[in-house]
Amino acid sequence: MKRFEGKVAIVTGAGGGIGSAIARRLSSEGALVIVTDVNADAANQVVNGIKADGGAATMIAADIARKDACFNLVEQAFGLQDRVDILVNNAGINRRGNLLSLSDEDWDISFTVNLDSMFHLCRAVLPHMIAGGGGAIVNTASQWGLYPAPNHIAYNTTKAAVAAFTQNLARDYAPDKVRVNAVCPGEIHTPMLEAGIRRSGRTIADLDKLVPFGRIGKPEEVAALVAFLASDEAAFICGSLVEITGAQAVA
């Protein structure tokens, strides 16, 4: 049975590693997926792939660092079928550094992209979800928001804030049947992780050894969790921060 037949889902950062896997997974289960990213080429490729597999998807390019872009994105998505059932706040950036090495710009843009975008997108989407009788929001936090890895103070602090934002939103809108949860991935093999290991001089095999499960995670594994949390099977899961780490507690 397809869990998202007749539903409309927005996935941010859907041109990237985890976001594209989420978009593919939701569409394979029947959703019309709004594939949105600041990188329009990457997002278009994802849409083409989904359509080639028989799914439904629409690309909307948006820089979610801009408040107006967040509102326009939601309004355009809503205009397609007069509904938005699922919002996956997945887009994120990772500026490496400690307090003294980070620039002001690194700090500010980390909060703008990783946290403020969720504030604006949720403000835009909530009235539609409430009017439609409910919905599901899944935010991408990080294991590092719960157990900080060294030298990533801006990233880790934004992800801790995403966790707190998720729990607050869930409490406030549970009475409206809008379920809000977050996933907290560990090391997942994506372009973001590839960029990180290039900077640190480590290899994937080095990272595999740090995970008790014996390997780092796959984007499809995060996508499966996001799909579960967005589905009616998770009807009573609200305000949860779900770790997906292969039992790794700290990087």
Ligand X SMILES: NC(=O)c1ccc[n+]([C@@H]2O[C@H](COP(=O)([O-])OP(=O)(O)OC[C@H]3O[C@@H](n4cnc5c(N)ncnc54)[C@H](O)[C@@H]3O)[C@@H](O)[C@H]2O)c1
Q: Which residues bind ligand X (CB under 6 A)?
A: 12-13, 15-19, 37-39, 42, 62-65, 90-94, 113, 140, 142, 185, 187-188, 190-193
CA distance 96 to 115: 17
**Least distance to ligand X from the beta carbon of 146, Å?**
11
Cβ-closest position to ligand X: 16
Q: Which of 4, 78, 144, 155 is catalytic?
A: 155
Q: Which two tokens stand for residue 148?
A: 């900080």
Q: Please, which residue, 93 or 163, has the CB nearer to ligand X?
A: 93
| Residue 207 contacts residue 149 (beta carbons within 8 Å) | no
Residues 6+ apart with CB under 8 A from 201: none
CA distance 200 to 30: 40
Of 65, 63, 68, the C-alpha closest to 124 is 68
Q: Is 155 a catalytic residue?
A: yes
Largest Cα span, the chain? 53
Q: Please, which residue, 129 or 188, has the CB nearer to ligand X?
A: 188
Q: Please, which residue, 64 or 126, has the CB nearer to ligand X?
A: 64
CA distance 199 to 96: 9
**Least distance to ligand X from the beta carbon of 176, Å?**
25
Q: Please, which residue, 85 or 243, has the CB nearer to ligand X?
A: 243
**Least distance to ligand X from the beta carbon of 175, Å?**
28
**Least distance to ligand X from the beta carbon of 177, Å?**
26
Collapsed DSSP state (helix, strand, coil) of residue 39: coil
Total H helices, total E strands in the chain: 10, 7
List the catalytic residues: 155
